[in-house]
Amino acid sequence: MSVIDDQLVAVAPVTVLGIGNIILRDEGFGVRAVEYLEEHFHFPHDVRLLDGGTLGPELLHFVTGTQKLLILDAVAGDAPAGTVYRFEDDAVMAHFQEKMSSHEIGIQDVLAWLTVTERAIPNVVVLGMQPYEVTAGLSLSPEMAAALPHFAHRAVEELVRWGIVPAERPKQSRQSA
C-alpha cells in the first residue's frame, strides 16, 4: 500500500454499514437501522456506524481495512415482506448478484475490489429485510417502522457474536445521542 493509499483509508476494526435509498421508503431501511442503532445504543470506540446511503464505490474509502463488516440493507428476495435475511461468506457475493438497486452494485464492486487487491474483509455479514413498499417517500412503511426495533436487536446479536457488546442508552439520553 502506498503512502497516498494510507491517507485515503479510514480504518475501524468493526464497521456497521447501513445502505439504501431513503427517498424510496423501505429501500432506505439499512440507513434507518443505523440511525436507530446510533440513537438507542452506545458502541465501543472501535466500532464505526456508517450511513452509506447510495454511495456505492465511494464506500471503498470507509471500509478498507476493517476486519468485520455488518451490512444492513433492504433485501429483495422471494419471501414475503418483512422476512429477515442473513448472508455471510460466499453467500454475501451471491446475494449482491441479484441487485435490487445501484447501491448494491457499488457494495458488490467494493467487496470484489478488496478481494482482488488482497485486502478482503475477513468477516462480512449482510442482515436485511424484505421491503413492503419501494415507492417515493421519506418515511418507512408502517410495517417496516414497526419491525425496526427487532431488526436492530438482531444487528446487535450479530455484533455480540463477534465479541462486541453495545450498551443500550437510557431513554432520557436518546434525544442527545
Q: Mean pLDDT for the chain? A: 87
In this prediction, residue 2 carries a pLDDT of: 40
The CATH number of domain 3-163 is 3.90.79.10? no
In this prediction, residue 133 carries a pLDDT of: 94
In this prediction, residue 129 carries a pLDDT of: 97
In this prediction, residue 21 carries a pLDDT of: 93
In this prediction, residue 101 carries a pLDDT of: 55
The rounded distance, in Å, linking the Cα atoms of 53 and 11 is 19
What is the CA 1 to chain-centroid distance, rounded?
A: 26
pTM: 0.88
In this prediction, residue 56 carries a pLDDT of: 79
Domain ranges of the chain: 3-163
Residues in the chain, pLDDT under 50: 1-4, 6
In this prediction, residue 174 carries a pLDDT of: 65
Nearest to 126 by CA among 69, 166, 64: 69
In this prediction, residue 13 carries a pLDDT of: 95
In this prediction, residue 96 carries a pLDDT of: 67
